[in-house]
Structure 1
Amino acid sequence: MTRAPKQRNERLRDAIRECAWSYDACACAVRAVARENGEALFSCDRSHVGHWVAGVKPSGSTARYLAEAISRRLGRVADPACLGLLRGDSLEPDLDGLDWWGHAPAIDLLTVGRADLERRAFGLTALYSLAALAVPLESWQEIADRGRRAQGGNVAVGPREIDAVRDMLTVFSTADERFGGGHARLAVVQYLTSDVAGFLQGRFSSDRDRVAMFSAAAEMTYLAGWKAFDSSLHGLAQRYYVQSLRLANEADDRALAGFTLRAMAHQAVDLGHGQEALQLANSSIEWSKGRTTPAATALFTIVSARGHGATGDSTRTSAAIRAAEAHLADASPDDEPTWIRTSGFTETSLASQAGQALRDLGDLPAAEAQLRRSIATRDTEAYRRTHTLTLANLADVQCAQGRLRGAVENWNRAMDAMAGVQSGRASAAVKNIRTRLGSLGARLPSFAKRLDQRAAAFAKGTTTGGQVTP
């Protein structure tokens, strides 16, 4: 019995032509999306693309990486089905196709949260999508009004329930800063999908209570997104961020929405999407204008500096850093919203972000000065994860300037601070140590070799114990 020949995938071929890609360029774009989502497709090359066009179905998540790469190139959504990439006419649902702005946010929050809790692979396979960054800012009021008309469940919700959510938020946020995003991440999701989602569908005695509950829920959902982001689950983090934005929209809380847009900008710039990060950061500033406080404005502005740094605009980077510092100088901590106080945004955090913006710009001496300033003023026990990452960034900048001994000393300090911290970003910082040292060749000094061995042991889930001193 002869096997039926594969049918050539004309839709994929046409899409690649519309992208004006060679097969090599297509493979490079797929590898970039895969890398962004935590998978290294080193072997993906032009021959794979040729096989896909010939009718071979991509394996694993590759079909979705390919569809995302094409979507980015064309500026419109091109899903796997439209590209003829499905095997057996189906992929495991990944929630990419849902119209997040067309349904009740409590229902969609349940959809995402339950998928996170019940489908073990969901957090790993949910893709980060540039298309999902298109937030309908112009429809804010219409969407908020529609949500208010839809309220009215069976649970009576008032100040006590609102206080309960805020108390839990404080507990979870404090633990997150000390122990990292991987600590109690699913506990936050469980609380969201049980208590919080129930409250959102309840009966409110006043619109004031409804607004307060939706704002508290938006903060808790933001925290779920932040914890996923810190765990390097970028597609999942993006879905929680969108839900947080929608809940802030229901509360007509533009300042809190700006806070979430700022987080989305932070994620975008960390993933290498400088222009998109800049657009999101600018949206956070514009959307919250007249509704927010000096420290919040400073936070949104310093993230715009990171966008300018990533896009190579030195003049606007410097101007944004100065503007952020001026806004923060006008802040009164007691007058700031809970999400500013909980996140610990101060001069210390601003300096860390400024250092990263200047690093991306290539101004390494100025970046080092800002990062040192951040380290010197931080409460290292309360903000252990951030302290760890700032030390690692400082070491990276020192290494790039050829000062290996100082870099190794600070990388060792960073690894000391990582004890007990469950963070994908911290793990990525350790991986970067090995990459940096590996790029220097085999003739490393002994103190650098010892650090490399320590980083290798960490990557295997073990520790060598104690600090490796140069």
Structure 2
Amino acid sequence: MARALRQRNEKLLTAIKACQWSYDACAAAVRAVAREHNDDLPSCDRSHVGHWIAGVRPSGQTPRYLAEAISRRLGRVVHPTDLNLLAGGSLESDLGGLDWWTHDPATDLVTVGRADLERRGFALTALYSLAALAVPLDSWQEIADRGRQAQGGDVAVGRNEIDAVRDMLAVFSKADERFGGGHARLAVVQYLTSDVAGYLRGRFASDDDRRAMFSVAAEMTYLAGWKAFDSSLHGLAQRYYIQSLRLANEADDRALAGFTLRAMAHQAVDLGHGQEALRLASSSLEWSKGRATPAATALFTILTARGHGATSDKSRTSSAISAAESHLANASPEDEPTWIRASGFTETSLASQAGQALRDLGDLPGAETQLRRSIVTRNADAFRRIHTLTLANLADVQCAQGRLREATENWNLAIDAMQGVKSGRARGAVKNMRTRLNSLGPRLPGFAKKLDQRAAAFLRHGTTPADI
């Protein structure tokens, strides 16, 4: 029987030419997107691109990676189907093509939540999209008005229901800070898609009650996004963040919307998208102006410092750090919103973010000073996850300055604090630690080799043997 001839993929070739890419550049762009989703694709090279153009369909998640890479280069959304990369719907939709700004937010929240709960692998396959960062703030009021018209279900919703959601939020938030985003993540999603979504569709005695319910629902949805982010499920986190932003919009809570925009900026800068992070952080300040408290304004401002640091703007980085410190100095903790208090944003957190901004800028001594300040002022037991990450960041900065023994001591402390913490970011810090150590070659000192063995055991088992 004659073998079927493959058909040259002209659509893909046209898109690659429009990107002005060589085959090597195309492969590099695909690998960059894959790395954001913990998939290195080290073997992806120019020969793979040539095979795809010749008609070989890429396997696994690669069609999505390729479409996202091309979307970023061209500045418009390109789907795998546009590139002739799918065979009869072989790649299940990741909901990326939905226009999240046309339906009522309760409906879309349930759509994402149920996909997360019921579709095996959805959390792992949902891609982070730069196009989804285009938040239509200029259409805010129109979208909110459209959402208000969708209310009016059978359930009567009042202060008791609002207080119940707030109490659940407090419990979930406290556990998240101590045990990491992987702890009870799906329990948060289950509560959102059942109880909370039902309340959002209910009848409210007053518009004040409606705004209060949508506001606390936005906080809970933000927490679902934050837990996904901390679990390194970046595409999923982005979808929850967008729903949180929409719910804050419905509540006319611009400060809370700024809080979510700030989280989106945090995610963007951690993934290496400095310009997008700066735009989102600036939007959080602009949108919440006149509504945000001093501590909230400080939090939004320090994320602009992260954006400036990632884009190598030394002057603006320094100015943003100083401005954030000034705003925080004027804060009164008892007057801050619940989401500021729950996140533990204080001088300690500001110093951690400032340290990372200075690290990205290349000011390693300045970064070390800020990170040390963060460590010595934090309640390490209540905020175990961020304590471990800050220790790891400090060690990384010390290693980059050639002080390996000090770095090793802090990396060991970080692993000590990680025991029992379910966090993709914590695991990422351990992987980075091993990469740093292995880059030093075969002449690694014994104390550093012992740390590397301990890190390897942690990545295998989530804990370390006592005798290592």
Q: What are the within-5 Å matches in structure 2 for residues 241-252 of structure 1?
A: 241-252=241-252
Q: CA deviation at 1:463?
A: 3.5
Matched AA of 1:448: A
| Conserved 8 A contact 1:178-1:385 | yes
Q: Does 1:27 align with 2:27?
A: yes
2:199: which partner in 1?
Answer: 199
What TM-score do the two structures reach when normalised by structure 1?
Answer: 0.99
| Conserved 8 A contact 2:262-2:300 | yes
Q: CA deviation at 1:38?
A: 1.2
Matched AA of 2:235: G
Give the superposed CA RMSD: 0.9
Identical residues among aligned pairs (%): 80
1:183: which partner in 2?
Answer: 183
Q: What are the within-5 Å matches in structure 2 for residues 76-95 of structure 1?
A: 76-95=76-95
Matched AA of 1:63: P
2:74: which partner in 1?
Answer: 74
Measured at CA, do residues 146 and 463 of structure 1 come closer, stay the same or move farther in structure 2, by a change above 3 Å? closer
Q: CA deviation at 1:432?
A: 0.8
| Conserved 8 A contact 1:412-1:467 | no
2:430: which partner in 1?
Answer: 430
2:13: which partner in 1?
Answer: 13
1:161: which partner in 2?
Answer: 161
1:303: which partner in 2?
Answer: 303
Matched AA of 2:291: R
- Taking the aligned partners of 2:218 and 2:464, their CA distance within structure 1 comes to 41
Matched AA of 1:306: R
- Taking the aligned partners of 1:54 and 1:248, their CA distance within structure 2 comes to 48
Matched AA of 2:29: A
- Taking the aligned partners of 1:113 and 1:241, their CA distance within structure 2 comes to 12
Cα shift readout 1:350-394 (whole Å, capped 9, x = no counterpart): 000000000000000000000000000000000000000000000
1:234: which partner in 2?
Answer: 234
Cα shift readout 1:56-111 (whole Å, capped 9, x = no counterpart): 11100100000000000000001111111111244201100001000010010000
Matched AA of 2:371: L
1:142: which partner in 2?
Answer: 142
1:261: which partner in 2?
Answer: 261
| 4+ long deviations beyond 6 Å | none
Q: CA deviation at 1:120?
A: 2.0
Q: CA deviation at 1:467?
A: 8.6
Measured at CA, do residues 375 and 467 of structure 1 come closer, stay the same or move farther in structure 2, by a change above 3 Å? farther
| Conserved 8 A contact 1:416-1:466 | no
What TM-score do the two structures reach when normalised by structure 2?
Answer: 0.99
| Conserved 8 A contact 1:416-1:467 | no
1:327: which partner in 2?
Answer: 327
Measured at CA, do residues 451 and 113 of structure 1 come closer, stay the same or move farther in structure 2, by a change above 3 Å? same
- Taking the aligned partners of 2:204 and 2:73, their CA distance within structure 1 comes to 46
- Taking the aligned partners of 2:19 and 2:144, their CA distance within structure 1 comes to 37
- Taking the aligned partners of 1:90 and 1:246, their CA distance within structure 2 comes to 31
Q: What are the within-5 Å matches in structure 2 for residues 52-131 of structure 1?
A: 52-131=52-131
Q: CA deviation at 1:412?
A: 0.3
- Taking the aligned partners of 1:440 and 1:193, their CA distance within structure 2 comes to 48
2:294: which partner in 1?
Answer: 294
2:387: which partner in 1?
Answer: 387
1:314: which partner in 2?
Answer: 314
Unaligned ranges ≥5, structure 2: none
Measured at CA, do residues 47 and 177 of structure 1 come closer, stay the same or move farther in structure 2, by a change above 3 Å? same
The alignment partner of 1:81 has SS state of helix
Q: CA deviation at 1:145?
A: 1.1
Unaligned ranges ≥5, structure 1: none
- Taking the aligned partners of 1:190 and 1:413, their CA distance within structure 2 comes to 35
Matched AA of 2:180: G
Q: What are the within-5 Å matches in structure 2 for residues 406-445 of structure 1?
A: 406-445=406-445
The alignment partner of 1:360 has SS state of helix
